């Protein structure tokens, strides 16, 4: 990863630098016009958030059953990024909704379930910070439950009648919009891998530092 | 000792301790009644309850009283270090979880046995027009809540600041169950009870119960190991 990091960093910067031009050149959506363009970042971050939640769930399961501290560090980093990405999703969504629905927030299934999932990962972070020693395992269990919510969040738009657009939008996207959209997804996934690697490395060094302090005391 | 007999013994012990002291029952009941009192001031206008409010009052009261019962049950285990003794016993951890879960669920249902009639009387809610459906919703909702609650209360039993952390963990994770209960009850409370909708919510509750119980059984063992 250490050797791959600068390569990915350059790639990510290039992806993000070119993304605005692609979005600018993409056609206007017939009914929503300009505000629709927020879709390229909103959906991309939402997809990355789901990936992040799953990463946290899988890492937590590996930590719980395989007892690998490395998996715990990945899980912690992923939980933090899930909260961060969730914040982007929960801010970019209402910005679009204000124009499309005339309301900042609707208590519909998709919005509510996303908020719930975001709160679960907030709880994970609270636990890590204030739970005291031994809270890693407890947090890992929370991470598993949080990841279990992802399918419900994803399919909520199809299960209930909601005002939020359904999962049908992405597969039926017009070819001229699909290119920029996939570009943005790639950019956010690339950014995610970078942030996850950096955050995990930071945790690793922190753990190493703690070990050194302990060794010094002995 | 078989899995089932271990679970029965643990549950029986919890219910027996409770039957003798009646501490959890009394405190959660009194708490539930004070909860309803607060709702009565917020959700009653000119002597009438706001439409759909009765279901919300019922489920939020259950959730709040449930948190109180959960933390008390595991505090009791902590006082005499009995939780450690229980975990040291040469039985599968999952059996201990099932026993604790059954005990918590039993207590929760007991509290509901009094809270539900109280909501019917005090908020004039026709909860028992479709008794079978209502009981199904109550049972499925309480099972999901107790499944997650038992897992996290057990894990938090040894943590500091558990009093503050239990609600913070429990409410976001169990919110789907609460939503299912509230919406399902609201469907039953309509002037023309919408049984199709109530059935859909009940099915969703059962789906969540399956996910929650599976995940809890799965994580209890590794998470409780020191």
Could you give the ipTM of this predicted complex?
Answer: 0.85
- Cβ neighbors of A88 (< 8 A, separation 6 or more) are A41, A45
Which helix (H) or strand (E) segment is B17 a member of? helix B3-21
DSSP letter for B74, please: H
**Quick one: which of B184, B181, B212, B222 has its CA closest to B200?**
B184
Q: Which residues of B touch A144 (CB under 8 A)?
A: 215, 219
Tokens of B157: 């039993």
* pLDDT value at residue A115: 92
Q: How many residues does chain B have?
A: 226
Indicate left, alpha or beta for A74 from its phi (over 0: left) and psi (-120 to 50: alpha).
Answer: alpha
* pLDDT value at residue B54: 86
* pLDDT value at residue A129: 87
Chain segment B54-113, per-residue pLDDT in tens: 888 899 999 988 898 888 888 888 887 888 888 888 888 889 999 999 999 999 999 899
Q: Do B168 and A126 touch (CB under 8 A)?
A: yes
At residue B160, the 3 state secondary structure works out as coil
Which residue of chain B is at minimal alpha-carbon distance from A64? Answer: B222
Q: Cβ(A11)–Cβ(A190) under 8 Å?
A: yes
How many CA atoms lie less than 13 Å away from B93 in the CB half-sphere? 18
Overall average pLDDT of the A44-49 stretch? 95
Q: Do A145 and B173 touch (CB under 8 A)?
A: yes
| Residue ranges of E strands in chain B | 44-45, 48-49
- Mean residue pLDDT of chain A comes to 90
Tokens of A166: 């359904």
* pLDDT value at residue B205: 93
Instruction: Suggest the residue from A123, A130, A159 to mutate for an interface test with chain B (most B CBs closer than 10 A).
Output: A123
Instruction: Suggest the residue from B208, B222, B225 to mutate for an interface test with chain A (most A CBs closer than 10 A).
Output: B222
Instruction: Suggest the residue from B166, B169, B205, B211 to mutate for an interface test with chain A (most A CBs closer than 10 A).
Output: B169
Tokens of A128: 């890590």
Chain segment A159-170, per-residue pLDDT in tens: 777 788 888 788
Give the number of other CB atoms < 10 A from CB of residue B59. Answer: 26
Chain segment A152-195, per-residue pLDDT in tens: 888 877 777 778 888 878 888 888 888 899 999 999 999 999 99
Residue B61 to residue B39: CA distance in whole angstroms? 9
Overall average pLDDT of the A45-60 stretch? 95
Instruction: Write phi, then psi, for B44 (nearest 5 degrees).
Output: -110, 125
Closest Cα of chain A to B219: distance in Å? 7
Residue B164 to residue B171: CA distance in whole angstroms? 12
| Residue ranges of E strands in B86-208 | none
**CA Rg value for chain B:** 18
* pLDDT value at residue B226: 64
The domains located in chain A, with CATH, are: 4-27+35-217 (1.20.120)
Residue B87 to residue B225: CA distance in whole angstroms? 8
Residue B53 to residue B41: CA distance in whole angstroms? 12
Tell me: pLDDT of B162 over 80. Answer: no
Q: Which residues of B touch A83 (CB under 8 A)?
A: none
Q: Which residues of B touch A116 (CB under 8 A)?
A: 172, 175-176
- Cβ neighbors of B103 (< 8 A, separation 6 or more) are B10, B11, B13, B14, B15, B18, B73
Give start and end residues of each alpha helix (H) in chain A: 4-25, 39-66, 69-100, 109-130, 135-159, 175-217
């Amino acid at each position: 990863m250490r050797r791959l990091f600068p390569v990915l960093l350059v790639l990510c910067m290039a992806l993000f630098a070119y993304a605005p031009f692609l979005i600018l050149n993409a056609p206007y959506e017939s009914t929503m016009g300009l505000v629709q363009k927020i879709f390229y970042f909103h959906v991309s971050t939402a997809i990355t958030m789901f990936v992040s939640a799953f990463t946290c769930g899988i890492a937590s399961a590996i930590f719980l059953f395989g007892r690998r501290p490395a998996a715990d560090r990945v899980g912690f980093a992923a939980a933090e990024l899930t909260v961060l990405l969730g914040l982007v999703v929960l801010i970019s969504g209402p910005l679009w909704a204000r124009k499309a629905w005339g309301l900042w927030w609707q208590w519909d299934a998709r919005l509510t379930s996303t908020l719930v999932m975001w709160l679960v990962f907030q709880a994970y972070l609270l636990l890590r910070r204030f739970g005291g020693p031994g809270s890693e395992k407890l947090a890992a269990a929370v991470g598993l439950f949080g990841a279990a919510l992802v399918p419900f969040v994803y399919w909520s738009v199809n299960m209930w009648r909601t005002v939020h657009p359904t999962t049908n939008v992405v597969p039926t996207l017009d070819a001229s919009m699909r290119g920029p959209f996939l570009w943005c997804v790639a950019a956010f996934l690339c950014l995610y891998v970078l942030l996850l690697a950096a955050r995990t490395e930071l945790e690793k060094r922190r753990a190493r530092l703690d070990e050194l302090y302990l060794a010094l005391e002995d | 000792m078989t899995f089932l007999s271990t679970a029965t013994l643990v549950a029986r012990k919890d219910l027996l301790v409770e039957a003798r002291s009646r501490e959890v029952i009394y405190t959660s009941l009194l708490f539930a009644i004070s909860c309803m009192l607060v709702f009565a001031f917020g959700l009653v206008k000119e002597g009438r309850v706001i439409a759909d409010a009765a279901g919300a009052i019922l489920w939020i009261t259950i959730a709040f009283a449930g948190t109180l019962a959960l933390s008390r049950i595991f505090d009791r285990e902590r006082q005499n270090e009995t939780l450690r003794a229980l975990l040291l016993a040469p039985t599968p951890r999952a059996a201990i979880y099932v026993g604790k879960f059954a005990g918590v669920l039993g207590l929760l249902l007991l509290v509901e046995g009094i809270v539900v009639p109280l909501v019917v009387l005090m908020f004039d809610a026709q909860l028992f027009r479709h008794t079978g459906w209502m009981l199904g919703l109550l049972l499925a909702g309480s099972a999901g809540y107790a499944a997650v609650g038992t897992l996290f209360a057990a894990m938090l039993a040894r943590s500091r600041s558990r009093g503050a952390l239990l609600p913070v963990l429990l409410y976001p994770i169990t919110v789907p169950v609460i939503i299912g209960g509230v919406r399902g009850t609201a469907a039953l409370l309509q002037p023309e009870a919408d049984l199709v909708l109530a059935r859909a919510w009940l099915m969703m509750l059962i789906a969540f119960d399956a996910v929650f119980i599976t995940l809890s059984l799965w994580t209890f063992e590794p998470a409780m190991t020191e």
